[in-house]
A = this chain, B = another copy of it.
């Protein structure tokens, strides 16, 4: 969906997928968190899509952190299955956050639903669910830690990569760094600290090392 810009209205055309056995086919690396579209369904097979971060924990295992109160967590807890869909299309992310995707945006694969036209998707079955209470600067929230096993991994010709925010956090920090002379040091530090949190949460070793170097250089530049 990212390559060929589909028309805004009307459903995306069906895409052919090649079957792979594990997440290496999507170049997903253990320890990185990817922004994906998770598709779930209720007992009547009514589909639901939401942007969800998916942590890769192995060649065929992922962990999701699902906040209470979404359709996604309800469906996942209810039937123990979902698909993880890879796209770089900003309008899919936007429409599934601001409202619901149209029904014709879902497609069947075996007894799963997936995002029609996705660059790739994989089926997943829940292995364990742990409920915990998270306390952070946004307050207290109930969180379900869902461990799941990937089944069929399906990749289309249009697949380029799964979306990882690590490199963007580094780029944002570098741009902030090159403008440091013109910035309020407090605002700058807060911005870099936020990007460091993102890189540590989603990134791999090279993103984390990059942030370490940037923070070090910045401290000697503005102090």
Contact = CB atoms under 8 A, between A and B. Distances in A.
Nearest to A171: B35
Contact of A163 (B51, B167, B177, B214): B167
Taking the full assembly, how many copies of this chain does it contain? 2
Interface in A156-209: 160-161, 163, 165-168, 170-171, 174, 177-179, 182, 203-207, 209
A97 interface: yes
Interface in A123-174: 138-139, 160-161, 163, 165-168, 170-171, 174
A46 interface: no
A102 interface: no
Contact of A27 (B3, B93, B163, B217): B3
A214 B160 contact: no
Contact of A90 (B90, B91, B206): B206
Contact of A138 (B5, B98, B182): B182
Give the secondary structure class of A's interface: helix
Given A98-B214, A206-B5, A93 B161 contact: no
Interface in A51-109: 51, 88-91, 93-95, 97-98
Given A138-B182, A160-B161, A167-B88, A174 B97 contact: yes
How large, as a class, is the contact surface on chain A?
35 or more
Nearest to A166: B90
Contacts of A98: 177, 213-214, 217
Contacts of A171: 35, 51, 93, 163, 165
Nearest to A98: B217
A46 B143 CA distance: 54
Nearest to A217: B98
B182 A94 contact: no
B163 A90 contact: no
A206 B89 contact: yes
A99 B94 CA distance: 38
Contacts of A203: 90
6 contacts: A5-B206, A91-B210, A94-B170, A94-B210, A95-B213, A165-B168
